[in-house]
Amino acid sequence: MRKTHTVRSLMFAIILVLSLGLASITNATGKDRPDANDEGFIASSDDGVTTAAVFEWTVEEMENAKPYPVQSVVGTTTLPELNAPVPDGPAGSIAGTLPSDTATDDIGLLSNGEVGSYGSYPYSAVGKIFFRQGGGSFVCSGAVIKSNEIWTAGHCVHAGNGSSSGWSTNVVFVPQYRNGSAPCGQWSVTQLVTSSDWYNNGNPNGLDNDYAKGRVSNPNTGCTGTLGFAFNQSYSQNFLAVGYPAGSPYNGERMIFCSEPFKRTYIGSPATFSINCPMTGGSSGGPYIINNNSLNGNVSFGTGLYPNELFSPYFGSGAKGLYDYSF
């Protein structure tokens, strides 16, 4: 049985009404499929799709959600390892914000494993994303990037099939999730946007732009803080990858991290890159953090050619354009 908290249920119902109204307006244009906007992104509202959850997810529903697989590249022997590309613009970064509790962890002193303090920054900004896609209930990882926005992988919000049917729906973000608890609440995700490259091309041709973000209606960034954002940076640095792997040997109930240096570049333009990290399905969309503050990648895919490595899109001007995208 679903929760019957009157205030929360009413809030989610209001979100649904507003989202349905937006969908009706969008569908009135008569467009069957959206064209990419000038920045190269496609939003759920372009397709007239409602993404917001009608009700909070119950603990049982969250525990039963299946880990959305980390994308896997097949035919790996035909895909060359590439040299690191030249950034397509000047390097830049945008500072994040600390939560009300300003405790932080020094990522330089960590070894890989379970996060010790979920409320310590930058882990405080990381959580699980629950959604429905293709008739199933799934979970990915993501992070808070603005007062009302979260970041994740493109394949967590859209199937990459070039169709309005590919969007994730009934989407909520649960920061600092642990064993069914939601210490910062469940945030309903009212709109989603991803790159037109991922939307239309999917795996493998769209993996170099496998990123997305969502707009949330009821955030509590005093509890989470927000990650900063870095773009056109060097590959040669240490990355903190954080997520909720649920495939064996993990169970999805704990936040896991890998603190590792850059390993190699691979497919795509700009080339994707990897770090050593054994996280499994469910960690998709989890942030790659640099300098204990800034988002500079996200969990995207793996390949049998390089086992125990996780690959991320390179954050150049395309990723910065998505960060700047206004819903």
Q: pTM surpassing 0.85?
A: yes
250/268 Cα distance (integer angstroms): 29
Predicted pLDDT at 307: 92
Token readout for 129 is 């994303």
For 108, which DSSP code?
A: G
Per the DSSP assignment, residues forming a β-bridge with 94 are 229
In Å, what is the CA distance from 4 to each residue of 137, 171, 172?
21, 19, 17
Please say if the pLDDT value at position 66 is more than 60. yes
Residues 6 or more apart whose CB falls under 8 angstroms from that of 103 comprise: 117, 119, 120, 121
- In a 10 Å sphere around its CB, with 0-12 CB exposed, 13-18 middle and 19+ buried, how is residue 238 labelled? middle
Range of the domain at 295: 1-327
Please say if the pLDDT value at position 8 is more than 50. no
Predicted pLDDT at 6: 36
Domain count, the chain: 1
Predicted pLDDT at 37: 55
Report yes or no: 192 and 158 within 8 Å, Cβ to Cβ: yes
Predicted pLDDT at 101: 72
What is the pLDDT of the chain when averaged over all its residues? 87
* CATH number of the domain that residue 323 is part of: 2.40.10.120
Predicted pLDDT at 160: 98
Predicted pLDDT at 133: 97
Lowest mean pLDDT among 3-17, 112-126, 181-195, 263-277: 3-17
Q: What is the mean pLDDT of residues 109-138?
A: 92
Please say if the pLDDT value at position 241 is more than 70. yes
| 3-state DSSP assignment of residue 91 | coil
Report yes or no: 228 and 247 within 8 Å, Cβ to Cβ: no
pLDDT class for 74, splitting at 50, 70, 90? low
pLDDT class for 21, splitting at 50, 70, 90? very low
